[in-house]
Amino acid sequence: MANRCQFENSNDIGVFSKLTNSYCLVALGGSENFYSVFESELGLSMPVIHCSIGGTRIIGRLTAGNKNGLLVPNTCTDQELKQIRNSLPDEVKVKRVEEKLSALGNCIACNDYVALIHSDLDKETEEIIADTLGVEVFRTTVAQQVLVGTYCCFNNQGGLVHPLTTVEELDELANLLQIPLCAGTVNRGSDIIASGLVVNDVAAFCGLDTTSTEITVIEKIFKLQDKNKQNLEVQIRQDMMQELE
């Protein structure tokens, strides 16, 4: 299910939170509304951890992670790192990365199996990503943008990319990632996909401005719909095709 929410009037959910299949990070200082939306949807299965990185709240754009691990930038203080490590499940490896491009969330887009990274990331960082997150790493661009982490967002079932991505690029990326991809927008036409949307295999959260068309696209491509609803749709489609025949 895709849910709409806001962090202190901002529709940029992906800036203030990070969602994976085994944990969720949220920034400090938001209203209770924001946290309650997450907690009610994710339930008790997943820890929702309040934290900050380098004294800032833009944790979604600074960190990159999946169910296997979490990477934080060198701006993260020892105290913050300790707090995150203590709050995360034991299986999740946390690593601080010494990298010039410190906004890891903007440079890395990943699910539990594959990661796309910024073309200029260090070789050492690439190895850390492969090791900590347990993923296959590809250096690529999305719609001629190097900030892959900003302009695309994917889970293990599907992905959403920048609206100006060409069909050839879509095919190429879909091949790399082995999941279906779709070009689209969030938050009423914003092309900064990852800042407006966080998603894992069971839930997605997007800004309040997201239109119902955008939500429909998101639910379809990330396969978040109810199984019953999906079956119903298939049935309706089949009936319509029969009538046309």
Partner 1 sequence: MSQDKRKQRDYEDDDSEEEEIEQPINLHNKGDMEEEINLDFVFLDPNQKQFHSIKTFINGYLEGISFKSSELANIICDQVELGTMVGQEDEDNVFGFTTILNIGEIKSNAIGEILHYVDAKSQQYNKQHQQLQHILQTPKKVGLFINERILNLAPQLIPILHNQLREDINWLQKEDPNNSLTNLDYLLVITKCFKDNDQQKQTQKKSTSDLNDLIFQKFEDYIFLQKSFVSFRFLSEGSKQTQQVSDFMKTEQDGQICYRLIYLIQLKDYLAQIVNIEQYVQQ
Which residue lies nearer to partner 1 by CB, 28 or 234? 28
- For the chain, strand residue ranges (E) read 2-5, 17-19, 24-27, 48-51, 64-65, 69-73, 93-97, 108-110, 114-117, 136-139, 152-154, 159-161, 181-183, 197-199, 204-207
Which residue lies nearer to partner 1 by CB, 39 or 131? 39
Closest distance to partner 1 from the beta carbon of 136 (Å)? 35
Which residue lies nearer to partner 1 by CB, 125 or 190? 190
Rule CB under 8 A: say whether 10 interacts with partner 1.
Answer: yes
Amino acid 202 reads V
Residues 74-93 that bind partner 1 (CB under 8 A): 77, 79
Which residue lies nearer to partner 1 by CB, 33 or 119? 33
Based on DSSP, count helices (H) and strands (E) in the chain, helices before strands.
11, 15
Q: Which residue has the tokens 């796309």?
A: 116
Rule CB under 8 A: say whether 55 interacts with partner 1.
Answer: yes
Beta bridge partners of 94: 70
| Window contacting partner 1 (CB under 8 A); options: 23-31, 96-104, 212-220, 231-239 | 23-31
Rule CB under 8 A: say whether 56 interacts with partner 1.
Answer: yes
Phi then psi for residue 143, to 5 deg, are 50, 45
Which residue lies nearer to partner 1 by CB, 72 or 170? 72
Closest distance to partner 1 from the beta carbon of 208 (Å)? 7
Q: x/- string (CB under 8 A) for partner 1, residues 186-225?
A: -xxxx-----------------xx----------------
Q: CA 137 → CA 145, 166, 178, 187, distances in Å?
A: 17, 22, 13, 29
